Structure formats: structure tokens, C-alpha cells
């Protein structure tokens, strides 16, 4: 009996965040997220029939989080003043 190859599954849908979702997750104002996008610090894509919907791919969020440093973690300990 001939074997048939399994049907190719549809490509996996990748996670896309809305600006409001990231603003809520990061406890920021939406305008701050928009500024990050327009400044080129956070990669985003336009979607929809007129390209007005802005979506941020999950991999872009991961890239951004890798570049962020927290001052408390990167600061060197202060020396005591005598």
C-alpha cells in the first residue's frame, strides 16, 4: 500500500503585540511605546488594509529587552568617602 506524505501544515502564526498590550505589560503610556517605535528603538510592522495598524513582533520585543540595561545592575559600587 503506498504511503502518502502528511499534508503540509499551515505556517505557524507568530505572536504580534498591539501597542496598548506592550504599554500595559511594561506599565508605560502608549505614547511612550509609539516614541520607542518612531525612534527606531523598537521594531514594528504596519498591518491592515491601509497599513494603519501597528504591530510589534514577539522577536522584536525580545531584541529590545536584550538591549535594555537596568542602572542598578550595571552600576559599579560607590567607593566610601573618608
CA neighbor of 37 nearest in space, from 51, 47, 22, 24: 22
pTM value is: 0.67
**48 lies in which domain range?**
16-66
Q: Facing residues of 16 across strands?
A: 57
Q: How many CB atoms lie within 10 A of CB 42?
A: 19
Residue 10 lies in a domain: no
Per-residue pLDDT of the chain (82 residues; tens, 9 = 90+): 555 555 555 566 789 999 999 999 999 999 999 999 999 999 999 999 999 999 999 999 999 999 886 555 555 555 555 5
Residue 81 lies in a domain: no
Dist CA 19 CA 55 (whole Å): 7
Beta strand extents in 1-82 (DSSP E only): 16-18, 45-47, 53-57
Query: What's the distance, CA 27 to chain centroid?
Result: 14
Residue 3 lies in a domain: no
Amino acid at each position: 500500500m503506498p504511503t502518502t506524505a502528511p499534508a503540509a501544515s499551515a505556517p505557524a502564526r507568530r505572536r504580534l503585540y498591539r501597542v496598548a498590550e506592550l504599554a500595559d505589560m511594561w506599565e508605560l503610556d502608549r505614547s511612550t511605546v509609539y516614541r520607542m517605535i518612531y525612534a527606531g528603538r523598537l521594531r514594528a510592522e504596519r498591518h491592515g488594509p491601509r497599513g494603519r495598524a501597528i504591530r510589534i513582533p514577539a522577536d522584536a520585543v525580545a531584541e529590545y529587552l536584550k538591549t535594555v540595561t537596568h542602572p542598578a545592575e550595571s552600576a559599579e559600587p560607590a567607593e566610601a568617602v573618608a
